[in-house]
Structures are given as structure tokens and as C-alpha cells.
Chains A and B, each alone.
Chain A
Amino acid sequence: MSYKLPDEKDLDAMIGIVGKDYATNNKAITASYLSKSVMGLEAQIPDIVVRPKYIEEIRKILLYCSAEKIAVSPISGGLSGGFACPTIKPAGVMLDLGRMNRIIEVDTDNRYVVVEPGVTIGELWAYMHKNYPEWAPPVPDGAPPASTVMGDAIDRGFSLYTSSVGPQGDNFMCGEIVFPNGDIVRTGSWALPFAKPFYKYGLGPDIWSFLMGSQGALGVMTKVAVKIYPHPKFKTVVVWGMSNPEDMQDLTLEIGKQEFGIAHNTVMVQGGNYPLVMTRWPKDKIPHDYEFYEQLGISKWWMNWECWAQTQEELDYVVNRINKMAEDFKKNRAKDPDSIKPQELHPKQIASRLKKPNKIAVPYSFWEAGFLFITFYTPWNECAHFAKMYTAAMEKYGFPPVMWIASIERCRQAICMPIICFDSTKQSDIEKVQEMNRETTEYALKQGWLNYRPDPYIHAPLTYSQAGMYWKYLRTMKKIFDPNMIMHPGRLALP
């Protein structure tokens, strides 16, 4: 597939649509959008950046670019790092949707909030906290405050409620999408002119779900209705430590199966290993031996249950049940019973873990200079296997074995996220990361594990090569909305 390198005439066309203050090919400005981090290490500088404000502007931009065969990469917050940038050259137009930043409606009976793409999770959190303190949106728990609800929808990420209520994609009720063929489609109940966004699977088959995980490769989403949930005052965090990922997996699964019970109170169930603590500090300014962390009371592996309840009584019940189940597991079924112990948290530690959104995942660059999240989905009862395989690979390639694992939908699935901390100033380190990425992806695919935010060069091609029929239909359907394949080409290896 070949694309046009946009020229001055194309810039003029963009200026004609959005005005001269909001379209540019200024080289310093286009370079400033670059990111080779977080999720993707390969990215290109866009040729033109456009900052539309209205849906009609987006429609005109897409129609123009489609006719001219100019690639278009949309971003809401741009916090998915390399994934927010174009993948190919000529890179074409980047659509920065940050100016579309209205919080349009909050409905606490039907429990949704309607937002535009540029609404950041920090802004939405503060707005809800101030105006609707009893309700909270499902913001991605670890994503920094400048990320957006929309971006997380498209990435169908992992939010603060995911462990309890299910995948983030399920939290989005209805959406409004502009396709490059010029159509504006409203999904779910919103497809009817006067309907509220109260039902996701509106008029038969659901188009919105088709866009979940699309990474901008199908159309531009301009509005989304996202569920809100209660934000009760009674909260705490329970932590149990252990020596190995198998005990972590099995104990967590037992608690996760307590559905219609305590499992629904555990909004965030996430854990990992001690290098998760270590690599948030500079490599040469922190002890590497486990003994140091042991003295601090940090187990080799642990699991956090963040519990929310409507009353103190309910919260106490949840905490007691988790503790009792953990004691029972330790006594009767654990692989290494002696290592299983509760981790007492200082109230300040609890408060810091309850803080949303936070910057907890930002300092992994502090270790050296750069990091990459590589994220897989596995059935929950295979996450220990994944963790062992991946930490061994990281050690083989000379990276600290940092592993974060969280439950989705009460341990039906696991999100497993190794964090690769490396020195991005060194080409040799980047090559090592990619070699390891390829080796582990091949292994993972053989186990039937999914890469949930696939990168365009390793994950997507390897995955689709094993799912030819699915890929064929994805392409066929993309052609309907995006006949000239201009949307974020390469991002999902779709063109």
C-alpha cells in the first residue's frame, strides 16, 4: 500500500478546514509529537498535525485525506507512546483531538458520563470528585492523568474497576464515529435520534465493539458514553505475600470465584514481584539483592486486593473473608505455605494505593532510560506459567525481571505485563528488547495467549499469521468504512 507525502497544497486544504492556527507542518511542532516508549519503540514523525474542534471538521479532513490517499493517525491524549504515532513513511496527517474536550453529560440514574476525546482522566476524575463525589468513572488505574477515557476505550485498557466488573471495553455504552467514507455513525441505543446512551447492543449487531482495540485503524471516535460506578467512602487495600507466582495465582483465583460475594467488592486485584519495587529507582542507587526487600517486609511475589464497600461493616466482612481464605489456602493447599503472609500496610501506603489516577507507573525510566510495557492476556489459571516464562526470558536477555499481573472480571482472565526497563540511548539494548519480544511472542502464541495491545512489527504480524480467516474479515470490514485504507496504516498490520 502506498501513501502520498502531503505537500503545501494539502496543508492549505487542512487550514481551509480548521483555520491557520490549528494545522501545521512546522518541523519542530511535528517532531514534538514523537514518542518511542511505553508501548511502541518504532514511530514516525507526522508530516502535518491538525487539531480539529468539531465533528464536521473531522469528516472533511477524512474525506480529503481519503481522496488524496494520505495516511491519518488520530490521538486523544497520545499516552500510548509509540502507539500514538504513525508507523509508516510518509507518515501523513496526525489528528490531535485534544481540543475536543467537553464533558457533555453526567446521568447518575442511568449511570454514564458522555465525553469527547480530549477529556483527560485527571480532569474527569477531578470533575466527578467535585460535582458527583458518589460516582467515579472507570479510569485506567495506572495511566497518568493526561491520558484520556476515549484513548483507553479504543485501547480497551485496564481500569480501576476491571477486576470487578470486567474488561474496560465493556464499560463503553455508545459511541459516535466518523469514518473516512464521510459517514457519521452513532452506535448502541444512540443510533436512534432521541435515545439516551443507555444500551450498548442497540439495534442488532454492535458496531462499537468492532472498534474496540482498533488503535485508530478504522475511524475517528468523537464521543463516548462511559459507565460510572459508585465511589463509596469505605475502602482499603489487603495484601498477601508469597514466594512464587503459582501460589499468587491459585489464592487469587479462589477469591475471584467468590462471585455475587466478595469478588465483586475487590475493584482492583493486582500484584507482581519485588523487581516492580526495585526498578522504580535508579539502577545504581538501590540494592538489587532480594534480602534488602525482605527486610522491608516485601515478599518475592504478592497480590493486592483493593476493596470498596458501601458500609464499614461490609468492608470489614470483605477484608476478613479474604484473610480467612488466605489462611485456609496457606494451611491446606499452598505450594510454599511458610512464605504466605499478610503484608501490613501503613495508612499512608494504603492512601497512596487508593489514589486515582496516579503516576505510579511513570518512574520505570528512572532505572536506566526508557521502558516498554508488553501486555498479554491469558486465562487466569495460566498467568503463573506466563510469569515464569517471561521473567526467565528477561533475565536471559539481561533485563530485570519486572512482572505485573492483574485480574480481569474476577479472575476470568489475567492481564500480564512485563515491564522492560532498559537504556534507550543504546541501539544494542533496543535490539535485545525486540529479539526477546519476538521469542516470547512466538512462545506465547503457541500457548494460546493473546497480545492485547499488539505492536505492528512483531505482535500483530505473528498473531494474524495464525488467524488468517479472522484477518481476512477484519480487512474486508475495514474496507467498508475506510475504502482507501488511510486510517493509521500499519498500526494493526491491517493494510
Chain B
Amino acid sequence: MAKTGMERLKELEKEIYKCIHCKACRFAYSGEPSREGIGEFTGKQGTVLYEGMVDACPAGIEYGWEAFWNAGKIWIARSILSGDLEFSDEVRDVIMPCITCGQCSAQCENKIPTVDIIESLRAACVEAGVPMIEKHQLVDRLVKELNNPYGGKAEDRFKWAKDAGLGKYINNKNAKVGYYVGCTASYRQIEVAIATAKIFEQLGVDFTLIEEEVCCGSPFFRVGAVDTAQELMRKNLEAFKNLDTVYFSCAGCYRTITIDYPKWMAEGEKLPFKTMHAFELVSKLITEGQIKFKPNKELKGKVVTYHDPCHTGRHFALEMEQEMIKNSKNLMFDMRKVNKAIDAWFEIPRVILRKLEEDVGIKFVEMYRIKNNSMCCGAGGGVRAGYPDFSLRTASLRCDEANAVKADILTTECPFCWRNLSDANDLYNHGMQVMGVLEMISKYNLLDTANLK
């Protein structure tokens, strides 16, 4: 193993000691209390005033105690480092129900990498011999046995491709481009996998599905089972090593392989391929004028909103920011560049949605909390597996926000967000359709590739 959780935690000591316990990190738009909003809305989870700053840490909202908000966890980490507190079941039970959504990090003016800290704390907790919660133990066992946390058989991983007539892409030897499908789209939201693969096909991308693909390790990095996660990482690095580019349709896998792998790889080791999310490709082709969409009667006039998955949105933005801070010589000047790069990043999916508005006739409306201030769907960080009720209530809070802007369709770009939002939509009767953006494009056959070069 390259690093232990405790080693990572100690590396982060200075970041942890930067925290002044100012609690700004509990609110979206914590620096904008006068921000114009959409007023008060009473949804399935209660009433929220979408004006100015709004509580946006799902763990804090759910549990209330200081320990569950980010600032509390940072001071728990500090107490662990200073010896005022030891790892125990009590510590585990407050640091685990956190979605690692990173909204806290996005608010912090001291630029504290809160998600890194929380994940290292979890890893150190597991190393200290505190047993993982039962549900996490179960998925850990499953992935060790079957290479996926859902209990699916390895040979069924690409069944969706065979069934959809896309079998020729499995181990397509000539392709230098891979599609990393991930466990959720392979075993659960196969619509996402099929839609993505079909879009690649329509765009003329010669891609391959790699049979040796295993779980990316995301849930295990998140819950502190870093041994398991690193074992999976090794397998994937070996399986995908000969490709130039790997595409993703899952926000979590994309984040894990792009951001986590390099952090946990040995000193000096680099990712052997470039990574890109499928929506980046589609967005780029729209900007270049190579593709557009066909009108669609069924979708025309439908109010569509977009949920930024934490893993493709904020986590990349935060990583960009940390990287640029690290390399900057004069941050006062470079900060403007950082902010510009972040804005541009969040525009990528919006290019697609605006084009859909223009060509297809949907009405694209934004929710109140978007981009870096987006409210999490509740699925990540091991929370959907470990704390399903909390996870679904959080998803329902997000659905409330979509209801507040009268959305007919709630779109996103991550099968894991899709699953959770969709389950909450059904369970709490939010009355919307939940859909992936690429899924919508594929399902309604919207792609017009006449100008494709």
C-alpha cells in the first residue's frame, strides 16, 4: 500500500489546523446572504427559504449535532491528531454518515480540503481497528469476492451490451479509447450504459469495453477501506494501461480514477491514460458546431432542471483549485484564473442543456443551489449503502428543490445520483421524471450528426 490513512491525516495536519470553526461551511452561498432567490417553498421534507445562504450540509441537516457538520468533523480530526480523542465506535458513527459531497470545502475561505480530511480520518479509523459498520463490511466482502459491490457476477458485467447489440465493443482490440462503465451502470442503471455506448456509436467513436474492468473503488476510498480500494485500483490500472483515453458515464468512477488514483499511487507514478466524461465530449462537439439536436414533440415545453453531481462538478472544481493554488507563485493574481476555470467547468453540461432548449424546445431552468453550491443527492460517501433512510431524505430534499422550480424532468449526469433521486422521487411522490442527460438524448433519438466531421 502506498500510504496509510494516518499518514494522509498527518500530511493534512496544517490544513486541519487552519480551521477556525467559523461554520461558514454549513451553508450554500455562505458569502451571499443577500442573494436573490426563489422564495419559500414547502416540499415533502419541510419548508426551505431559498434566499441568500441556505443550510446545505446534508449530514448536519439530518443529525443536527455539531459533530455531523463539517466544522465539527475537522475539530474531531484535530483532537485525534493532538491526542485529545481516540478512535472508537463513537468517532466512526459521526464521521461515517457524511456524503463527502464537498459542499463544505467549496465554502471555506481557508480552502481547507475537507473531503480529503474526512476520508483520511475514516481510513485512519479503520486502520486503528474500529470495525466498519455492518453494511460497509458487507459491500467490502462482496467486492473482494466479485469485484463489484452489488453482488453481480463478473461474467454479467457487460450483459447489457450483449443484450443491446453492442457486444462487438467488448474487448475491441483496435480501439485506443475505452469506456469505463462502472458497477452502477453495469448492474443497475443499464439505461445509462446503453445510452452512452449508443451515443459513442452515433458519434463514430471506436471504443472498447474492457472485460477485466472491476469496481473503481470509489465507495471504499470514501469509507476508509483503502486497502480494498487500492487493490481495485491496481487491477484497473493494469486492465486499462494500453489505452490513450478512457471515457466515463459515472461521476463517481470518473472522479475516483482521475482524482483519487493519483493521490494513492506511488510517488512519481502517473495515470497511464487521459480521462474524460462522455458529457464533455458531447458538449465539445456542440461548441464546435459538429452536432445538434432534433426537435421532439414529446419533450417540447417540458421544464427540465439539472442536478450537478458532486463527483463531476464540485470535486473537479475543488481539485482544480487545489492544483492551481499549489502551483501559484502569486495567488492574489491567480485566484481570478482559478475562478474562471471553475466557471468554465460548470458550464460544460449547461452547454448541452441550453442546446436542448434551443433545438428540442425544452425549458431549461436552474434550481437555486447549483454548481459549486449544489446540494448533494445523498448517495455518495458510502451513505446510500450505510444509511439508506438519511440518503433518501437528502435526495428528497434535492427533489423538493427541483419541485420548487416546477421541473417536469430532473436530469443529472451520474447513474448513482440518478438512482437515489429516482428512488426518492418515487418514495416521496415528487411527481417528476428523473433522467440522465445522455439518456434523454439517446432515448428520444435527439442526436443530429449531419455536421459531424
Q: Which of B17, B26, B33, B109 contacts A369 (CB 8 A)?
A: B17
Inter-chain contact B110/A366, CB cutoff 8 Å:
yes
The yes or no answer to A32 lying at the interface (CB within 8 A) is yes
The yes or no answer to A74 lying at the interface (CB within 8 A) is no
A125 to B53, CA, bound (A): 10
Q: Which of A77, A79, A130, A368 contacts B39 (CB 8 A)?
A: A130
A81 to B64, CA, bound (A): 19
The yes or no answer to B72 lying at the interface (CB within 8 A) is yes
Inter-chain contact B94/A126, CB cutoff 8 Å:
no
Inter-chain contact B21/A37, CB cutoff 8 Å:
yes
Q: Interface extent on B, as a size class?
A: 35 or more
Question: How many A residues touch B, CB cutoff 8 Å?
Answer: 53
Query: Quick check: which of B77-85, B165-173, B413-421, B432-440 contacts chain A, the rest being far away?
Result: B77-85
8 A Cβ contacts from B329-375 to A: 329-332
Inter-chain contact A31/B21, CB cutoff 8 Å:
no
Inter-chain contact B66/A122, CB cutoff 8 Å:
no
Inter-chain contact A424/B90, CB cutoff 8 Å:
no
Inter-chain contact A356/B31, CB cutoff 8 Å:
no
Interface string of B274-309 (1 = CB under 8 A from A): 000000000000000000000000000000000000
Q: Which of A29, A31, A362 contacts B110 (CB 8 A)?
A: A362
**CB neighbours of B33 from chain A (8 A):** 121-122, 125-126, 129, 145, 355-357
Which residue on B lies nearest to A277, using beta carbons? B332
Least Cβ distance of B338 to chain A in Å? Answer: 12
The yes or no answer to B271 lying at the interface (CB within 8 A) is no
Inter-chain contact B19/A365, CB cutoff 8 Å:
yes
**CB neighbours of B67 from chain A (8 A):** 26, 28-29, 31-32
Least Cβ distance of B309 to chain A in Å? Answer: 26
**CB neighbours of B238 from chain A (8 A):** none
- Given known contacts A27-B90, A28-B85, A29-B65, is B20 in contact with A370 (CB within 8 Å)? yes
**CB neighbours of B332 from chain A (8 A):** 281, 286
A329 to B62, CA, bound (A): 58
Least Cβ distance of A104 to chain B in Å? Answer: 16
A122 to B24, CA, bound (A): 10
Least Cβ distance of A284 to chain B in Å? Answer: 9
The yes or no answer to A448 lying at the interface (CB within 8 A) is no
Interface string of B218-233 (1 = CB under 8 A from A): 0000000000000000
8 A Cβ contacts from B82-102 to A: 84-85, 88, 90-91, 93-95
Q: Which of B88, B109, B329 contacts A362 (CB 8 A)?
A: B109
A79 to B33, CA, bound (A): 17
8 A Cβ contacts from B1-56 to A: 13-15, 17-24, 26-27, 30-34, 37, 39, 49, 51-53
**CB neighbours of B53 from chain A (8 A):** 122-123, 126, 145
Interface string of A278-300 (1 = CB under 8 A from B): 00011001110000000000000
A146 to B78, CA, bound (A): 21
Which residue on A lies nearest to B329, using beta carbons? A285
The yes or no answer to A264 lying at the interface (CB within 8 A) is no
Q: Which of A31, A125, A127 contacts B76 (CB 8 A)?
A: A31
**CB neighbours of A38 from chain B (8 A):** 20-22
The yes or no answer to B430 lying at the interface (CB within 8 A) is no
- Given known contacts A144-B30, A365-B20, is B51 in contact with A130 (CB within 8 Å)? yes
- Given known contacts A146-B27, A362-B110, A365-B110, is B85 in contact with A27 (CB within 8 Å)? yes
**CB neighbours of B18 from chain A (8 A):** 365-366, 369-370
Interface string of B84-126 (1 = CB under 8 A from A): 1100101101110000000000001111000000000000000
A127 to B49, CA, bound (A): 9
Inter-chain contact B79/A34, CB cutoff 8 Å:
yes
Least Cβ distance of A400 to chain B in Å? Answer: 15
Inter-chain contact B31/A359, CB cutoff 8 Å:
yes
The yes or no answer to B325 lying at the interface (CB within 8 A) is yes
Inter-chain contact B94/A28, CB cutoff 8 Å:
yes
- Given known contacts A122-B52, A285-B329, A365-B19, is B14 in contact with A31 (CB within 8 Å)? no
Least Cβ distance of A384 to chain B in Å? Answer: 28
A423 to B14, CA, bound (A): 8
A34 to B108, CA, bound (A): 18
- Given known contacts A29-B67, A146-B26, is B20 in contact with A282 (CB within 8 Å)? no
**CB neighbours of B19 from chain A (8 A):** 37, 365
Interface string of A366-379 (1 = CB under 8 A from B): 10111100000000
**CB neighbours of A34 from chain B (8 A):** 21, 75, 78-79, 84
The yes or no answer to A78 lying at the interface (CB within 8 A) is yes
Report the 3 A-B pairs with minimum CB-CB distance, sorted nearest first: A126-B52, A32-B72, A146-B23
In the complex, 12 of the A-B residue pairs with CB atoms within 8 angstroms, ordered by the A residue number, are A29-B66, A32-B66, A32-B71, A32-B72, A37-B20, A122-B27, A122-B33, A126-B33, A130-B49, A282-B325, A368-B14, A424-B17
Which residues of A are in contact with B by a Cβ distance under 8 Å? 24, 26-29, 31-35, 37-38, 45, 49, 51, 77-79, 81, 96, 99, 121-123, 125-127, 129-130, 144-146, 281-282, 285-287, 355-359, 362-363, 365-366, 368-371, 423-425
